[in-house]
Chains A and B, each alone.
Chain A
Amino acid sequence: KQEVTQIPAALSVPEGENLVLNCSFTDSAIYNLQWFRQDPGKGLTSLLLIQSSQREQTSGRLNASLDKSSGRSTLYIAASQPGDSATYLCAVRGNTGGFKTIFGAGTRLFVKA
């Protein structure tokens, strides 16, 4: 049974700092991995999607990496801004059956001005 863990649960950093969010998963038989952002009282917004055959994806100040063999992914945020404050969720999609998606509990990020 796939389990997804995100560390740390919460993080507070000063504006301008580079930071790394971690995601680990127990079953390497995945189709893809996706990072989402969730603002309070809102739905989820997709940030980056990495296919199982890929090692990383980049979008602006965000870079996500995937190491399927070790069951790890990282989300790197460069030059953090107060507007980056949100909860970041990692979601792993299996590669069998209905391609079920399992989410981690998220990392709550606060960027101080």
Chain B
Amino acid sequence: EAGVAQSPRYKIIEKRQSVAFWCNPISGHATLYWYQQILGQGPKLLIQFQNNGVVDDSQLPKDRFSAERLKGVDSTLKIQPAKLEDSAVYLCASNRWVTDTQYFGPGTRLTVL
């Protein structure tokens, strides 16, 4: 079974630029999560999808972050414009049922200069 795929693995941008990350969950997994992990901290949930509907986006900075999950499969997370404090690893995870083990992708390391 293929794991959660993410791209790109690394991205360096300047502040005020925009950036997008892509995630392909494990086939058949209805729930998809985007987490932000700042160096030295645990992952923080940004947004949770159930199929293509949003379950929780309470910690998503909606003035600059957006996410979508078209057709309930792949998902993209966008930051526009980026700030220095957005430098972090962005992790995507998925599971079949919301209460199951979450499977994580390798993450995208974003550096904002």
Do B48 and A100 touch across chains, with their CB atoms under 8 A apart? yes
Interface hit among B12-20, B35-43, B64-72, B75-83: B35-43
Do B44 and A103 touch across chains, with their CB atoms under 8 A apart? yes
Residues of B within 8 A of A4 (CB): 42
Rounded to whole angstroms, the CA-CA distance of A36 and B104 in the bound complex is 10
- State the total of A-B contacts with C-beta under 8 angstroms: 54
Q: Number of residues in A with C-beta < 8 Å to the partner? A: 25
Do B98 and A99 touch across chains, with their CB atoms under 8 A apart? yes
Do B99 and A32 touch across chains, with their CB atoms under 8 A apart? yes
A103 partner, pick from B42, B99, B107, B109, beta carbons under 8 A: B42
Residues of B within 8 A of A18 (CB): none
Do B43 and A44 touch across chains, with their CB atoms under 8 A apart? yes
A100 partner, pick from B45, B91, B109, beta carbons under 8 A: B45
Q: Number of residues in B with C-beta < 8 Å to the partner? A: 24
A105 interface contact, C-beta 8 A: yes
B106 partner, pick from A43, A97, A99, A100, beta carbons under 8 A: A43
Do A101 and B41 touch across chains, with their CB atoms under 8 A apart? no
Residues of A within 8 A of B98 (CB): 98-99
Rounded to whole angstroms, the CA-CA distance of A45 and B45 in the bound complex is 17
Rounded to whole angstroms, the CA-CA distance of A103 and B44 in the bound complex is 7
Residues of A within 8 A of B4 (CB): 43
B107 partner, pick from A43, A97, A105, beta carbons under 8 A: A43
Rounded to whole angstroms, the CA-CA distance of A89 and B42 in the bound complex is 7
A31 partner, pick from B40, B43, B48, B99, beta carbons under 8 A: B99
Do B105 and A43 touch across chains, with their CB atoms under 8 A apart? yes
Rounded to whole angstroms, the CA-CA distance of A93 and B93 in the bound complex is 14
State the B residues within 8 Å of A (CB). 4, 33, 40-45, 48, 50, 55-56, 91, 93, 98-99, 101-107, 109
Known A98-B50, A101-B102, A103-B42; 5 more pairs at CB < 8 Å: A42-B107, A44-B91, A46-B103, A49-B101, A89-B43
State the A residues within 8 Å of B (CB). 4, 31-32, 34, 36, 41-46, 49, 89, 91, 93, 97-106
